[in-house]
Chain A
Amino acid sequence: MTINLNVNGKTETVDAAPGTPLLWVLRDHLKMTGTKFGCGIAQCGACTVHVDGTPTRSCVTAHDSLGDAKVTTIEGVTGKAADAIRKIWVKNDVPQCGYCQSGQIMAATALLAKNSNPSDDDIDAAMSGNICRCATYMSIRRAIKETAG
């Protein structure tokens, strides 16, 4: 079934089975592998993208449920919050292996866009859905606060 998706401001035509999660459409059909698979059940946040600006688990979001919603991935996320997050992530060497960081950056960007000066509790609440096994949690917390401060 052919469907048009708005991904990073571009119209992408995809032909995937009905109900196929956005994650696999991005990765396997559009070859945009920046969005990662971690658990497949919305538990780890590695697959986080923005749908109309809201952080969304692409692994449980059917691609054919999106209509003309705007999908933004790590490859395409821009703007003041994203620029600030990328900059501090690089300056502080926040990631380790980096695998979960697409999701972390998408979640942190959405947090910062909504709340320019988040507290530790705000950060924990916004970021606890994103698992990092390298445990960059403290680095992420410090970096978000530094960006805000």
Chain B
Amino acid sequence: MFLHDIGIIPGGTKSGAPTSDHPAILNLSRRGFVAGTSLFVVGVALVGCSSYVEPKIDPNAIDLPKAGPSPLMEVKGGDATPALWIAIEENGAVKITCHRSEMGQQVWTSMAQIVADELEAEWDKVEIVQAEGHERYGDQNTDGSRSVRYNFHRLRIAGAAMKQMLIEAAAVYWKMEAADCSASQGLVSNNQNSDTLSYGNLAKLAARLQVPEESNVALKDPKDWRYINKEIPSLTIPRITRGEGTFGIDVDRPGMVYAVVARPPQLFGKTGAVRDTATLAIPGVLQTVKLPDPSSPAVFQPLGGVAVVATDTWAAIQGRNALKINWIDGPNASYDSDTFAEQMKQTARRSGAVRRKRGNVASALASAAQKIEAEYYAPHLSQSPMEPPAATAEWDGDKLECWACVQDPQATRQTLSDLLKIDKKNITVHATWLGGAFGRKSKPDFVVEAALIAKEVGKPVKVTWTREDEVRHGFYHSVSAQRLEAGLDADGKCTSYLHRTVFPPIASTFVPGMDVPTDGEMGLGATDVPFAMPNLQVESGNAKGHVRIGWLRSVSNIYHAFAVQSFAAEMAHAAGKDQKDYLLELIGEARTIDPNAEGATYPNYDASLEEYPIKTARLTNVVNMVSDMAKWGRKMPAGHGLGIAVHRSFLSYIATIIEVAITPEGALTIPGVWLAADSGTVINPRHARAQMEGGTIYGLSNALFGEITAKNGAVVQENFPSWRVLRMGEAPRAFEVQIVNSNSAPAGVGEPATPPAAPALTNAIFNATGHRIRTLPIIGANGSRLILPTDTSARGKE
């Protein structure tokens, strides 16, 4: 063993650390080097009593063939070139680039788990570098619950390729075969002895090696994972508990001033005469800036209006309050959401465009032993992340640098380029931490505001949206009206099913006059319905958008799952059967569903149906799991009820059971929630459970209280009293989540718990009271209790 020690202690100093003054020594052959220094080193080794001291590698002192271009640019998910994702510093720090936005889903931790596992990095050496917005990272749009799905394979490859290069570097240094070396926990070992080289020491040499081909990159067997699918603690939370970390609203730049914006109350309303005398008299107010009126389509344009710039945010808000602005009505001035709701319900009563068809629904309905029908309505919603939109912009000549809480820094950069007419190469967009997002922050209008104002002011500007701004000027979850009809045979078995859905599409924000529900939205819970009845038809009806319509956590799945899963329970009731048993009957035998084979155009969340088929067995499995968890069928106390719903979204299968307790006066509490999730391979079960809880509560908050309405084109709600969200005292007292242990491809985690929440709740209310809720919200902003019909004959009919 002394010989080994001798061999790897170049320079012959006690520390074993050569200096860059002696690089030539490393060019000696191993044998010659050993011979030349053995005497001294042996002495050291004896003194040191066999303690191994790692030599320091001079990477430039080793001749290597010139490395070619990376062959890993085209792997599944995009560029997996290790250098794009991993930087190992000399001190051993492993810096992993996270190109997705951290908004509480713990994507910093999950991306690092994937890379560090395959890399065999020590976890406590891992640090995250947040990527700026740039195409080189591939998709950075942190929505659709797909950060893991899109990046699992490529980041494994990147980590594993880097590990192989570190092993190769050690082999080069030791002049031995890589096969005789192995890597573990930040060290490469020589398997023929006990020598090791640390990653920090090897990194620069490894960086000069050829990146291996994907076919030559060996991924770990899942049984050897040490971070993936383990409950690794969050990388962000320790800082959060100390008030550290920079959210979009926290950004500070030298010389920065603060702005808020007064925006037209209606979408495409215009800014008329502005009187800002009183504003400019307020201490701290520096100036006002008129912003350009937007034109249709809205896309990600700012809404126009007038910015007030001040020395602090409070002065800017005071200045805005003092503005006198003559708002000019635009094309949406007559929008009244109550009137529009009636129009949509009428549309839902007429035949629509057929989007999926099996058998002949019309004739089956006509001959059914029992026919039932129901209409459901769900209102606009606001995402309302706790951190409202906020962005900071700074110009340096024609170069623009922005810091903002954005879900998609690339789209932000593109939007800035398009709207400000500057070359993208002159724009840098830094994604900060996001204080929640839920879809709001995938729209970068607020960053454009900051850039426009900063250009006018000539200083760095931070634009902060107040809560009122966020509630009144959002990109709203679409309002919807749906009608369902079913025919049951004499045994209560469903023979025909018609689902007609009417909602202004998100595309109305991007295409003028667009009023046709898109295939994407129809595929969020309507055309992908997993029911087995012989006659099935899914239709859509058109509706125009009058406010900006946008994504909100789980999107159209919210209203589609509400209607479909409520109606499943209504069918069960009509058939005189148990909700859960009937749900399993509707889903039917284990099979794979392809909506495209029945006339649908089904995007399947941008995934192939080969890789991510719709498997009814996975639905059935989570239904059975959650039923066991909640002890479905147990005797309930008076006023208590259990309700169940199951829904596949974002390629995950989620079943939820909710217990409600309702007093005779209608006071509603939620003693328990049980949820079973099959999301395929899960990177961090603890954080996945947190998403399941959070996604469910988000859905319950919307269902119980959430409602955005509009009068004269303007949103009525203002802040948390009128836009009500669920609070601690209203949260379930118990919440149990089980994650299916699966080796299927990773699916979504952030959104799929939201859709089944509302129908599980309304189904529970039905079982507790006999009262069927078909219109959301259940309680609303001002209510304190459920309004139960006094006439018991109305029960179940509403």
User: Which A residues are closer than 8 A to B by beta carbons?
Assistant: 16-17, 20-21, 24-25, 27-29, 31-41, 43-44, 46, 73-75, 85-86, 89-90, 93-102, 105, 120, 123-125, 127-141
Contact = CB atoms under 8 A, between A and B. Distances in A.
B772 to A, nearest CB: 26
Given A94-B237, A101-B241, 11 more contacts: A16-B284, A90-B241, A95-B241, A97-B386, A97-B434, A102-B240, A105-B241, A123-B728, A129-B727, A134-B436, A135-B698
Contact of A95 (B104, B467, B719, B720): B104
14 contacts: A24-B314, A28-B313, A36-B387, A37-B313, A38-B467, A43-B720, A93-B690, A97-B104, A97-B386, A98-B237, A134-B386, A135-B696, A136-B694, A137-B727
Contact of B103 (A39, A40, A85, A97): A97
A24 B244 CA distance: 17
Nearest to A37: B249
B666 interface: no
Interface in B567-618: none
Interface string B95-110: 0000000111110000
Contacts of A137: 697, 726-728, 731
Contacts of B244: 34
Contact of A96 (B104, B250, B729): B104
Question: Which 9 A-B pairs give the minimum distances between C-beta atoms?
Answer: A34-B243, A99-B435, A97-B104, A135-B697, A96-B104, A74-B243, A98-B240, A137-B731, A33-B250
Contact of B728 (A41, A89, A93, A127): A127
Contacts of A32: 243
B701 interface: yes
Contacts of A134: 104, 386, 436, 694
Nearest to B553: A133
A144 B247 CA distance: 26
Contacts of B233: 90, 93
A12 to B, nearest CB: 15
Given A44-B386, A44-B720, A99-B435, A131 B241 contact: no
B37 interface: no
Contacts of A133: 384-386, 436, 438, 698, 725
Given A21-B314, A135-B693, A140-B728, A28 B258 contact: yes
B519 interface: no
A36 B435 contact: yes
A54 B479 CA distance: 42
A131 B720 contact: yes
Contact of B719 (A39, A98, A136): A39
Interface string B676-701: 00000000001100110110111001
Nearest to B699: A135
A76 B573 CA distance: 58
Interface in B402-435: 433-435
Nearest to A102: B243
B344 to A, nearest CB: 28
Interface in B500-526: none
B142 interface: no
Contacts of B104: 95-98, 134
Contacts of B733: 120
A93 B237 contact: yes
Contacts of A127: 728-729
Interface string B227-249: 00000011011101111111101
B284 A17 contact: yes
A104 to B, nearest CB: 9
Contacts of B387: 36, 38, 97, 99
A39 B722 CA distance: 12
A124 B180 CA distance: 60
Nearest to B468: A40
Nearest to B470: A39
A32 B243 CA distance: 9
A119 B697 CA distance: 22
Given A96-B106, A133-B436, A17 B315 contact: yes
Interface of B: 102-106, 233-234, 236-238, 240-247, 249-250, 252, 258, 282-284, 311-315, 317-318, 384-388, 433-438, 464, 466-467, 686-687, 690-691, 693-694, 696-698, 701, 719-721, 725-733, 735
A136 B434 contact: no
A93 B242 contact: no
Contacts of A38: 386-388, 467
A56 to B, nearest CB: 16
B130 to A, nearest CB: 14
B100 to A, nearest CB: 14
Nearest to B257: A28
A120 B730 CA distance: 12
Given A97-B435, A98-B240, A40 B467 contact: yes
Nearest to B701: A135
Nearest to A24: B314
A134 B433 CA distance: 14
A75 B241 CA distance: 9
Nearest to B684: A93
Contacts of A41: 467, 719-721
Contacts of A86: 241-242
A21 B284 CA distance: 14
Contact of A36 (B249, B438, B693, B728): B249
A130 to B, nearest CB: 7
Nearest to B102: A97
B251 to A, nearest CB: 9
A4 to B, nearest CB: 18
Given A101-B240, A134-B694, A124 B729 contact: yes
Contacts of B241: 85-86, 89-90, 95, 101, 105
Contact of B726 (A39, A40, A90, A135): A135
B386 A99 contact: yes
Nearest to B283: A17
B597 to A, nearest CB: 38
A97 B106 CA distance: 8
Most interface-central of A127, A129, A137 (chain B CB within 10 A): A137
Contact of B467 (A39, A90, A124, A135): A39
A109 B519 CA distance: 49
Contacts of B696: 135
A37 to B, nearest CB: 6
A141 B733 CA distance: 9
A128 B726 CA distance: 9
B728 A73 contact: no
Given A17-B315, A90-B241, A127-B728, A139 B693 contact: yes
Given A17-B315, A130-B728, A135 B694 contact: yes
A24 B386 contact: no
A43 B721 contact: yes
Contacts of A95: 104, 234, 236-237, 240-241
A93 B434 CA distance: 17
Contacts of B729: 124-125, 127-128
Contacts of B243: 32-35, 73-75, 102
B731 A135 contact: yes
Nearest to B312: A28
A99 B385 contact: yes
A139 B687 CA distance: 12
A33 B405 CA distance: 15
B433 A24 contact: no
B550 to A, nearest CB: 16
A84 to B, nearest CB: 11
Contacts of A24: 312-314
Contacts of B726: 135, 137
A105 B239 CA distance: 13
A5 to B, nearest CB: 15
Given A34-B242, A93-B687, A99 B314 contact: no
